[in-house]
Amino acid sequence: MSTSDHTTSLAAQSLTTRRGFITASGCICLAAVVASARPHAALADATEGQVGDATPTSVTDMGGTAVELPDAVSSYADTWADHASIDIVLDGAKGLVATPVSRDTHPWMYEMCPNMKNAATIPAHQDASAEAASVADQGPQLAFAKGDALRKALEEQGIPLVDCSFATFDQMAQSIELSAQIIGKGAQVNAQKYTDALTKMLDAIKQQTDTVDESDRPTVLYGPSVATGVVAGAGTIADEWLSAAGAANANTGGSGTADAPCAVEDLAALNPDYILTATPGEAQAIMDSKEWAQTKAVKNKHVYTNPAGASPWGEPGAELLLQVQWAAAVIHPDLFKDFDEEQAVEDFYKEYFNYELDKDQVKLILSAEPPTAQK
């Protein structure tokens, strides 16, 4: 497929037919990465109840705070929505009792991980004391969180907080290993399997994208909802995966959130080469919008639906393993001609979520559609 055919067929819609991926020769498929890590998976089964059973008495969390832990952790809360996908990878979320996610906000999580239904959903938009009280009502022995905002309120409830936040891939690996050490019961083996695969994948992709001069790296505007100003800014994990994929974040300012979105006119003025948005239908809306019409992304038909499964792939969760591969193939199709995106999706969720997708479900995830969209 030529580059022009490629962009014409995929612009302003989800990517549902891209083929192939990346080895040292220019194609590394996730299946190959998974296969190289699979001995760890076998070990996880064989050592259930042996590896990581003894919870450490204290840890230093990602923010540098020393945290005293209970003797054995069997239940935990997770107040960081993106981290819930990592809980699933580590122990199938078996110990999760409280989370900010719900079936409405993260339907694929509940489709793929039955244990999610056992966790209470913490009401959104509470102050720290109210949120801590909601968490405490579920009786967790500790809580994972992004940052320190809830530490004092949770400690007043007798619940230690472990900051597991990260903004780089190195920090991500450390955070996953920290979480696994605390959860125990085979989670450490699953963490090692995942981080090994992540490292191998990043090395293989960067071997290709390192050949792209900095001056030739396209700028990319990414967000869960670009059309409404919800975008990733500087200092986020998006900087990391875009760099690995041979691109740069077009938004060098602050992130836009649902509560405080960036102004759309300001984002359009960034004139990105590519736009990746994880809301179904937005890619076409951006292509048709007068506000975005003069951007290079729209003129060159480089507006794409970013896949979303348990979470949008580009957010700081387990699906970053897929995001880097997919983004690299979108941005540099000539370097990654053999990427089989559908096979990569099937392999990933089977290996790390223990869930076998059918072909229609794969297409829904690649289109950022919920499982309820299945006909």
What count of residues does the chain have? 375
Side chain identity at 360, as an amino acid letter?
D
Amino acid 124: pLDDT: 78
Q: Which CATH number fits domain 3-29+203-373: 3.40.50.720, 1.20.1050.10, 3.30.930.10, 3.40.50.1980?
A: 3.40.50.1980
What letter does residue 92 receive in the DSSP assignment?
T
CA distance 11 to 18: 12
Do the domains spanning 3-29+203-373 and 52-185 agree at the CATH topology level?
A: yes
Q: For residue 327, which of 317, 338, 341 has the smallest C-alpha distance?
A: 341
| pLDDT digit string, tens, across residues 198-237 | 999 999 999 999 999 999 999 999 999 999 999 999 999 9
CA distance 115 to 93: 6
Amino acid 171: pLDDT: 98
Tokens representing 148? 């320190």
- Is pLDDT at 146 greater than 90 in this prediction? yes
Quickly tell me which residue has 């990933």 as its tokens. 348
Cβ atoms within 10 Å, residue 200: 16
Angle of helix 30-46 versus helix 320-331 axis, rounded to 10: 170
- Is pLDDT at 54 greater than 80 in this prediction? no
Q: For residue 253, which of 272, 271, 267 has the smallest C-alpha distance?
A: 267
**Mean local confidence (pLDDT), 45-49:** 35
What lies within 8 Å, CB to CB, of 110 at 6+ separation is 103, 116, 117
Name the H helices within 24-148: 30-46, 84-91, 107-112, 128-136
- Is pLDDT at 1 greater than 60 in this prediction? no
Domain boundaries, the chain: 3-29+203-373, 52-185
Q: What is the edge-to-edge ordering of all strands in the sheet holding 120-121?
A: 120-121, 96-99, 76-78, 142-145, 161-163
CA distance 289 to 198: 37
| pLDDT digit string, tens, across residues 108-141 | 999 999 999 999 999 877 899 999 999 999 999 9
| pLDDT digit string, tens, across residues 270-288 | 999 999 999 999 999 999 9
What's the CATH number for 52-185? 3.40.50.1980
